[in-house]
């Protein structure tokens, strides 16, 4: 009986020791503990009502629907209609000169127009020679000579160049030709050798419309375009 009591006491002691160790490791549950695996949940709890929440746009692939090919941009948009003769002319000139751009050309044509008109009115043959074809230079120089013979002088002031619209573009062999229609506002008067006004008015702004054709030989290194034809 005594041995039984001793063995029983030994097992009871071991049981008490094991229970004590488990409680020291795991602790006591109070009822406020989170459920198992609570810390591994991937969905965050909804924000409180007083929190500022910014809704981000959905991250869709840029460039439209995946696998869809974007529509090509028309190369001469704003200067020619697709399939038009002007667009075909631009293509032909660009094949000869890949740097050709209608917008850049139009801006350069405006500057050339003002320089040529001013040089012509001032009788500046030196400037004209670098801007005109040989035939046009001879014609302009002849007109200047006749004006000088009469003793007349021209005074002109550009108020504005309102338009420089490209109306035609063609390639003839290696020669590129572009026609531009100008619309400008100008004050211009002509005086005789005594200074008497014979044409125009200093107080009147006139609208002037000109259609000029410029050409460039793309087979040479000369990047300059020259005036080859004029008209109203």
Q: What gap in Å lies between CA 64 and CA 82, rounded to an integer? A: 24
pLDDT of residue 232: 75
pLDDT (tens digit per residue) in 126-168: 999 999 999 999 999 999 999 999 999 999 999 999 999 999 9
* Confidence at residue 57, expressed as pLDDT on a 0 to 100 scale: 39
Question: Residue 22: what pLDDT?
Answer: 43
Q: How far is CA 59 from CA 25, 55, 64, 76, 96, in A?
A: 47, 12, 12, 34, 45
Residue 83's pLDDT is: 96
> Residue 73's pLDDT band (boundaries 50, 70, 90)?
confident
User: Could you read off the pLDDT of 208-227 as tens digits, one per residue?
Assistant: 999 999 999 999 989 999 99
- CB-based contacts of 162, cutoff 8 Å, min separation 6: 183, 184, 185
Give the pTM.
0.68
Average pLDDT, rounded, for the chain: 81
């Amino acid at each position: 009986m005594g041995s039984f009591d001793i063995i029983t006491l030994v097992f009871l002691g071991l049981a008490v020791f094991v229970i004590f160790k488990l409680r020291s490791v795991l602790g006591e549950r109070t009822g406020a503990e989170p459920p198992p695996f609570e810390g591994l949940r991937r969905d965050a709890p909804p924000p409180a009502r007083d929190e500022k929440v910014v809704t981000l746009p959905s991250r869709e692939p840029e460039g439209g629907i995946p696998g869809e090919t974007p529509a090509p941009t028309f190369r001469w948009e704003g200067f020619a209609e697709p399939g038009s003769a002007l667009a075909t002319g631009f293509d032909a000139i660009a094949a000869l000169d890949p740097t050709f751009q209608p917008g850049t050309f139009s801006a350069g044509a405006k500057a050339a127009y003002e320089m040529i008109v001013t040089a012509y009115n001032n009788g500046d043959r030196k400037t004209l020679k670098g801007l005109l074809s040989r035939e046009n230079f001879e014609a302009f120089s002849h007109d200047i000579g006749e004006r000088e013979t009469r003793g007349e002088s021209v005074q002109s002031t550009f108020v504005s160049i309102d338009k420089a619209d490209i109306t035609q573009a063609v390639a003839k062999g290696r020669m590129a030709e572009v026609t531009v229609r100008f619309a400008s506002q100008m004050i211009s008067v002509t005086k005789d050798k005594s200074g008497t006004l014979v044409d125009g008015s200093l107080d009147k702004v006139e609208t002037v419309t000109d259609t000029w054709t410029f050409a460039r030989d793309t087979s040479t290194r000369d990047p300059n375009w020259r005036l080859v034809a004029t008209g109203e």
